[in-house]
């Protein structure tokens, strides 16, 4: 059994290291992409700039990790009123996203559409969900990839309040 324990310990260590690097933050802050996005609520354009810190979640309706992360973000949002949280759908139709938003009580004014995947590609998204924290100047201050626990969401949102 010592070999089994060593293997389990090694696997846990790998997961810990990988998890630690899915949240990045550093001195280099690239500008957020400048593609016009469309609000689900009224079809108006939105470019996410000039509104203080914004946490952008890149997601798709078919993504199980996105489905689990969204309610955690909605639950954390009231504790961080100065941070706008936006759900930026990647590559799906307005009808698909509207049906999902209705079924899961997503605030339509916070759901944006990127049907051509332009924003996600320009932001370097490699998987969903990808969360990008934009500072007040529209620069990417932090990035997290993959499903986030409530604790990791809290750390991300609290870091936005310090920027």
Structural domains of the chain ordered from first start: 38-161 (3.40.30.10)
Residue-wise pLDDT for 91-118, tens only, equals 999 999 999 999 999 988 899 999 888 8
This prediction's pTM: 0.79
Helix (H), strand (E), coil (C) string for 34-60: CCCEEECCCCCEECCCCCCCEEEEEEC
Residue-wise pLDDT for 29-59, tens only, equals 566 666 778 899 988 888 776 667 999 999 9
Please state, in angstroms and rounded to a whole number, the distance separating the CA atoms of residues 142 and 9: 29
23, 97, 109, 106: which is closest to 71 by C-alpha? Answer: 106
Please state, in angstroms and rounded to a whole number, the distance separating the CA atoms of residues 141 and 161: 12
Instruction: Please report, to the nearest 10 degrees, the dihedral formed by the alpha carbons of residues 148, 57, 141, 161 taken in order.
Output: -70
């Amino acid at each position: 059994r010592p070999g089994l324990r060593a293997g389990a310990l090694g696997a846990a260590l790998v997961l810990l290291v990988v998890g630690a690097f899915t949240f990045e933050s550093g001195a280099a802050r690239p500008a957020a992409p400048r593609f016009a996005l469309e609000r689900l609520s009224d079809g108006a354009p939105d470019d996410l700039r000039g509104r203080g810190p914004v946490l952008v979640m890149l997601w798709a309706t078919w993504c199980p990790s996105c489905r689990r992360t969204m309610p955690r973000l909605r639950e954390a949002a009231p504790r961080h009123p100065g941070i706008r949280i936006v759900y930026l759908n990647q590559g799906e139709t307005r009808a698909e996203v509207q049906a999902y938003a209705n079924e899961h009580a997503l605030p339509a004014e916070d759901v944006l559409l990127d049907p051509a995947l332009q924003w996600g590609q320009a932001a370097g998204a490699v998987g969903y969900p990808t969360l990008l924290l934009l500072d007040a100047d529209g620069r990417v201050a932090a990035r997290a990839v993959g499903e986030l626990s409530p604790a990791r969401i809290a750390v991300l949102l609290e870091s936005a309040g310090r920027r």
